[in-house]
Amino acid sequence: MIFVPITYKGGVYRHDEIVDLIEDLGGYIVQKHMIAQDVVLQCLVPKDDVELIRTIGRPLGGEVIVAPLVGTEIAVVSPSLEIHHLPHSSCDVAEYLRRAGAKTNMVGLARGFGKRIANLNVEERDTINEHDLVVYVLGNFEVCIEEKFPALRRGVHVPIVVTGAPSTEALRRVIDPPVEGYVGNMGRCMHRTKKPEELATLDALVDEVSRVLDEKRVEIAKDPLSVSPARLMKVIEEKVEAVHMVNHPTPVTVQIAGLRVKIPYESYAPEIRALEIENGVTVGDVAEVLPSKMRNYIWLRIKPFSETNIMV
C-alpha cells in the first residue's frame, strides 16, 4: 500500500468521523491540532483513498491538501538566536516548513556566528543527526558562507539544504563538497517575510526540501524498513500508556526512518524494546532504541529489511 501525506483542515463538528474513516482505511494520523473551532490533521493515507476522504469531508467543510512534508522531522539550524537580532529569518523558515506538514526543531548554535570563529559542538552535531534533514539558514556574504560552512557541517551526515542571501548559483559555487539542496536569496533580514518575492523564496525552499526528502525516500525504498514508522507510532500509542500523559504537541514524532518518543529513556526504554508488534516480533527486533540527545527522550532508528530479515 502506498501512503501519501495529506493535511485535513476542517471544523470540530463531526471531525471524529474523518478520524474514524482514516483509521478504517488503514491510514495514520501523525498529528492532530485543535485550534478553537478548527481541526488540522496531519496524516498518511492510502493513495487510492485521498478522493474518498475529500468527498466525505466536503459536506463537513473539510479541505484536503497534499502536504509533502508530513511524517518528517527537520532541524532548522541558525548560527545564532540572539535576542538583539530578532526577528530571525530561521523562525519564518521553521514556521513555513510546519505549514507544509513537517515537524521542525530550531537549533540555535552556541558558537555558530562569525566567519573564522564559527564551530559546531558535539551535542549540536548529534542532535542534528537525529533528524531527517537539516536546513542551514546562513547569512548575507558569500565569503563568510564559504569559510564557515565546512565548520558547521562537520560530522553531519543527514541531507543538508543551505539557504543564504547569495543566489542559488553562488551558493552552489562556494560550497564544497556539494550538499543536497540550495536556496538562494534568503539571508538575514530585519523584518518578517511578507513580501511576495520573499514568500516565493520560502515556497522554493519547501520544494527543495521535499525534493531532497523524496530522494532519501527512494534511497530507503531500495532496502525497505522492517516496519513503517507510522505503524510503529500507532503500536506505541496503543500500548504505552505514558505517552498520553505527555504535554508535547507530538509525544510520538514520526520521522522517515525512525521515531522520537518523548518519555524518559531510563524508565521506558526496556518496556518499548519488549513491545510486541505482531506475531512475536518486538520493537527491539526491528529498531534500535537509543537515548536521544534532545532532553531525555527516546529515539528509535528503524532497521532496514537487510539487517533484520523481518517485515511487519
Partner 1 sequence: MAALEYFTVECVEDKGREVYEQIASDVLLDLDLLRVVEKLHIFIDPRVPVFVAVGTTRRSGGLVRIRDFADVIVEEGRATLSIGDETYLAPMLSILWGRYGKDSIDQPDRFSVVVHLPEGEDPREIEEIVVADPEEGLYRDLIYALQIVAPEGFKVRRQYHAGGVFYYVASENTLPQEIVDTLVAEKLNLIGVTL
Contact residues for partner 1, defined by CB under 8 A: 79-80, 82, 84-85, 113-118, 139-144, 165-167, 170, 187-191
Contact 136, 209 (CB under 8 A): no
CA atoms within 13 A of residue 135's CA, in its CB half-sphere: 35
Q: Which is nearer to partner 1, 113 or 305 (CB)?
A: 113
Residues 121-133 as b or e (16 or more Cβ within 10 Å = b): eeebbebbebbbb
User: What CA–CA distance (Å, rounded) separates 28 from 230?
Assistant: 6
Strand, coil or helix: what is 257? coil
CA atoms within 13 A of residue 68's CA, in its CB half-sphere: 15
Displacement of CA 262 from its chain's centroid (Å): 15
**Minimum separation from the CB atom of position 107 to partner 1 (A):** 15
Torsion angle of the four alpha carbons 6, 161, 197, 195, in this order, in degrees rounded to the nearest 10: 80
User: What CA–CA distance (Å, rounded) separates 114 from 258?
Assistant: 34
**Minimum separation from the CB atom of position 182 to partner 1 (A):** 14
Q: Which three cell numbers stand for residue 227?
A: 516496519
**Minimum separation from the CB atom of position 43 to partner 1 (A):** 39
Q: Which is nearer to partner 1, 84 or 244 (CB)?
A: 84
Q: Which is nearer to partner 1, 58 or 191 (CB)?
A: 191
Q: At 250, give phi and psi (nearest 5°).
A: -130, 85
Q: What is the DSSP string of 26-85?
A: T-EEEEEEEETTEEEEEEEEEGGGHHHHHHHHGGGT-EEEE-TTTT-EEEEEES---GGG
Q: Which is nearer to partner 1, 40 or 135 (CB)?
A: 135
Q: Which is nearer to partner 1, 36 or 83 (CB)?
A: 83
**Minimum separation from the CB atom of position 137 to partner 1 (A):** 12
**Minimum separation from the CB atom of position 185 to partner 1 (A):** 8
**Minimum separation from the CB atom of position 194 to partner 1 (A):** 12
Contact 37, 82 (CB under 8 A): no
**Minimum separation from the CB atom of position 86 to partner 1 (A):** 9
Q: Which is nearer to partner 1, 80 or 282 (CB)?
A: 80
User: What CA–CA distance (Å, rounded) separates 145 from 152?
Assistant: 10
Q: Which is nearer to partner 1, 50 or 189 (CB)?
A: 189
Q: Which is nearer to partner 1, 90 or 105 (CB)?
A: 90
**Minimum separation from the CB atom of position 176 to partner 1 (A):** 18
